[in-house]
Structure 1
Amino acid sequence: MFEFTRVSTKEDREGDIEEGVLYPGISHGENQLRWGFIRKVYGILAAQMVLTTAVSFLTVLYAPINELLRGNSGLLLFFVFLPFILLWPLHVYQQKHPLNFVFLGLFTASLSLTVGVSCANTDGKIVLEALILTSAVMFFPVGPTSNAIIGGLGAVLFSGYIIYDTENLIKRFTYDEYIWASVTLYLDILNLFLAILRMLRQGDN
């Protein structure tokens, strides 16, 4: 009986180099499926960040929205707690299209409004610095020591969460959990940004 072994082509080798092996022992097929899952999650995450940026800019630049939220503590409190309420249907319907994307959009938009209010009440230079530091996932202590320590610990904590959830994305999340995977990473990045923003704002004061 003869056994035929498929010779890897130049295209196969280039594909392996481009995608890379995620971790030792993973099969070629599993590796390709996992890379596809990762690209899908980060595509959703990118859309969430774009929506957050757009809503935040609108809240900052369009004064009536910001003044309405700041002047109505009940409404602001509603939007603060709304994401926690939306987490339940988001978890229940995470695998049911299109409801999963509907609840994801509502969840992201409600969080974006509170982020926009925080940015609107902060100096633009500080917001920009926080964005840069969040993008680079770095920490530079500024201001009083106590503020720097508190903000720094928050930044380190949420940076650790990003690393942990990224490992889960590679090894633990199943292929139909792309919505929940994007939510966890989105919350990690958002919390990291807010921790750095709080640190820089306190340092500036």
Structure 2
Amino acid sequence: MWNQPFGKTDLESGGGARPLYPMMLESPELRWSFIRKVYIIIAFQLLATIAVGAVVVSVHPIALFFAGTGAGLALYIVLIFVPFITLCPLYYYYQKHPVNYLLLGIFTVSLAFVVGLTCAFTSGKVILESVILTTVVVVALTLYTFWAARRGHDFNFLGPFLFGVVLVLMVFAFIQILFPLGKLSVMIYGCLASIIFCGYIIYDTDNLIKRYSYDEYIWASVSLYLDVINLFLSLLSIFRAAES
């Protein structure tokens, strides 16, 4: 240490970059490299979602097949469950390349198909409004979380609260399916879901900065991708209910 030239820093020890949060013990360069990798994966996921969704929306026979036939409805139900089923093998193979990327691709494309079918029966104005608002909110909350983390704020306490509220939302959605409560209940549900997934964006971004290990880039990508998609769908339901 005493033999280092004055004013020089050891880049391998993390001295070449400012710590992301106080008392950071790991190398900031390694953490930034991990964060960039996660956001690159998420960018590809979102681009794939946009591409698949655009095909489903623009090619009308696809939406008509799913909406007007029994086989289409059955396939739609299967597609809803495919992302959740894919998460099971992804849990065991998230470190095994290229199986982890293959499973991540199946997860993304199947979920993108469901999003595309939802958008196929929604006006372009509502979709555009939801995309713009989702983009603004995600960017703003991400920047805020990095800013807050650097100043010593920690959002790990949000985990149990967000998990509990998601369970409430799931039960509420099940009740809504069995006993539809009308447009007002849909708007209330959409507002609550939007707030919850805003909280999840902060919580998962905070975990990305501090807690995910370098081998968990797949899980970090899945978590933040789901936050963005769920926020978009929540806002979409609000604007669609308001328009009807």
Residues 164, 176 of structure 1: CA spacing in aligned structure 2 closer, same or farther, 3 A cutoff? same
Query: Matched residue pairs, number?
Result: 194
Partner secondary structure for residue 137 of structure 1? helix
**Superposition deviation, residue 40 in structure 1:** 0.2
Residues 23, 63 of structure 1: CA spacing in aligned structure 2 closer, same or farther, 3 A cutoff? same
Partner of residue 63 from structure 1, selected from 60, 67, 70: 60
**Superposition deviation, residue 145 in structure 1:** 6.4
TM-score norm. by structure 1 comes to: 0.87
Conserved? CA contact 2:187–2:237, under 8 Å: no
Q: Which amino acid aligns with 1:121?
A: F
* Cα deviation code 1:50-101 (max 9, x no counterpart): 0000000000001122222223210110101111111111111110000000
Partner of residue 52 from structure 1, selected from 40, 49, 54: 49
2:19 is matched with which residue? Answer: 21
TM-score norm. by structure 2 comes to: 0.74
What is the distance in 2 between the residues matched to 1:53 and 1:169?
24
Residues 133, 26 of structure 1: CA spacing in aligned structure 2 closer, same or farther, 3 A cutoff? same
Matched, 1:43 2:40: yes
* Cα deviation code 1:165-198 (max 9, x no counterpart): 0001111110000001000000000000000000
2:125 is matched with which residue? Answer: 125
Q: How does 1:67-82 map to 2 (within 5 A)?
A: 67-71=64-68, 72-82=72-82
Residues 9, 130 of structure 1: CA spacing in aligned structure 2 closer, same or farther, 3 A cutoff? same
Residues 149, 6 of structure 1: CA spacing in aligned structure 2 closer, same or farther, 3 A cutoff? farther
1:137 is matched with which residue? Answer: 137
**Superposition deviation, residue 20 in structure 1:** 4.1
2:175 is matched with which residue? Answer: none
Conserved? CA contact 1:79–1:114, under 8 Å: yes
Q: Which amino acid aligns with 2:219?
A: W
**Superposition deviation, residue 147 in structure 1:** 4.9
Partner of residue 241 from structure 2, selected from 197, 202, 205: 202
Runs (5+) with no aligned partner, structure 1: 139-143
2:3 is matched with which residue? Answer: 4
Q: Which amino acid aligns with 1:3?
A: W
What is the distance in 1 between the residues matched to 2:7 and 2:104?
41
Over 3 Å off, 4+ runs: 5-10, 144-149
Conserved? CA contact 1:86–1:103, under 8 Å: yes
Partner secondary structure for residue 128 of structure 1? helix
Conserved? CA contact 1:147–1:203, under 8 Å: no
Matched, 1:157 2:156: no
